[in-house]
Amino acid sequence: MKWSWRIGRVGGVDLRVHATFIILLAWLALAYYRDVGTAAGAARGVLFTLTLFASVVLHELGHALAARRVGVATRDITLLPIGGVARLENIPDKPKQELGIALAGPAVTLVIIIALVVVLRGLSLPLTPPTSAIARGGAAAFLAQLMWVNVSLLVFNLLPAFPMDGGRVLRAGLALRQDHRRATETAARIGRAFALVFGVIGLFYNPFLMLIALFVWLGAAAESSALQERSALGGVTVDRLMIRDVRTLAPSDTLDAALRHVLAGFQHDFPVVDAERVVGVLTRAALLTGLAKRGPQSPVSESMDASFRTADPREPVERAVARLRESRCPALPVLSDGRLCGVLTAENVAEFVTIDAALRASVAHAAR
C-alpha cells in the first residue's frame, strides 16, 4: 500500500502504518488538547487511541494466524484510520477454511473484551461506560471505555457488509451451497447495499460512517474484480497472454531512439538486450525521467531498470501476475532458456480478463 511504512514485525508478519493514521493521531491530539486544555489530557487521549489500535492489530493477527494454519501466508498488516487490514496471499478455496479465518479476528476481540471485564471486576471498577471524556478520566474510565469500544467494534465487524468480517462469514456460508463466484457476487451486492446505508446515516449523523461506507464499497468492488480475475486466469499459462512481437533496445541506444519507438507504435516499455541476454527494462516513466535529467542523447543503460523480474512462458499466469504487481516495473520479460520470447504487461492481463468476462456474459445471456 502506498504511503505506508514498516514499523515492526509481529508473529512473522510485517506491521505497517499508513500516513493517514499519523494524521489521525495528530488530529486527535489537537482535539483532546482543545477539549481539556492540557498536554497531559491530550497524551491520555492519544494513548487510548494507540491502545485501541493495539487491539485492532491483535484482531488482524487472529486472521493471520488462522490463515497460516490452513497454509495461507499474510503479506502484512496496515494500520489505517478505519482500522487494520491484513493482506493475505490468497483466499482459501474451501469455504470452511475461509469461515475459520473470518471468525478468528472477532474471536480475538471477544477474548480482549472478556479480559477487560475480568480486570475491571478484579479491581472492583464499574463496567458501565464512563461519563467523563477519556482525556479527563482516570484508569477506570480508560479501561471501561476500551472495553465498550471493543464491544462496538465486535458488533460492527460482524455486520454482513462484505468485505468486513461478517461479510466474509456470509460469503463462506453462501459458498457452502453455491459456487464461490456467485457467493462473492451476492456478498458484494449486500456489502454495497450496506455501504449506501452507512453513507446516508453518516451524511446526517456521523461523517466517519461515510469513510467506512467508502471503504466497504471499494472493498466489495475490489473483491468482486479479484474473483473475476482469478476465474479468468485459472489454468492459463504466460505464453497465452504475453506479447510476442516485442521491440527491444540495446544498452548503448540513446533515449532519443527509444522515444522514436514509443511515438511510432503502442509499446511503452522496452526490454534492454545485450548479446541475447536481457539486462534491464526501460519503462515509460524511466524514459521521461531520463529525458528530463540526462537529455535525449544519453544511453539507455543510464535510465533502465536493472532490478526487473522475469517469467517463464510455461508457468501459470497468476503467479507471474503476482510478481508483476509486487515489482515496480510494469512489464515482465518472459524468458525461455534464458532468451527473450515475449513480455507480460498489466494491460494485457486486464484486457484478457475483460474479454473473458464479456464471453461469460454472452454465454449466460444465450442460456436464458
Residues 55 and 115 in one domain: yes
Within a domain: 365: no
**Are 219 and 243 members of one domain?**
no
Q: Phi first, then psi: give them for residue 282, nearest 5 degrees.
A: -95, 110
Q: Quick check: is 366 in a domain?
A: no
Domain extent, residue 48, equals: 1-158
Per the structure, the count of domains in the chain is: 3
> pLDDT band at residue 6, thresholds of 50, 70 and 90?
confident
Query: Model confidence over 92-129: pLDDT tens digits?
Result: 878 899 999 999 999 999 999 999 999 989 988 888 87
Helix extents (H) in the chain:
19-36, 39-69, 95-122, 139-157, 165-175, 180-204, 207-233, 238-241, 255-264, 284-293, 317-326, 346-367
Residues 129, 278: one domain?
no
150 and 174 co-located in one domain:
no
pLDDT in tens, 191-239: 999 999 999 998 888 887 888 888 888 888 887 787 778 888 888 999 9
DSSP string, 31-63: HHHHHH-SHHHHHHHHHHHHHHHHHHHHHHHHH
pLDDT tier for residue 34 given thresholds of 50, 70 and 90: confident
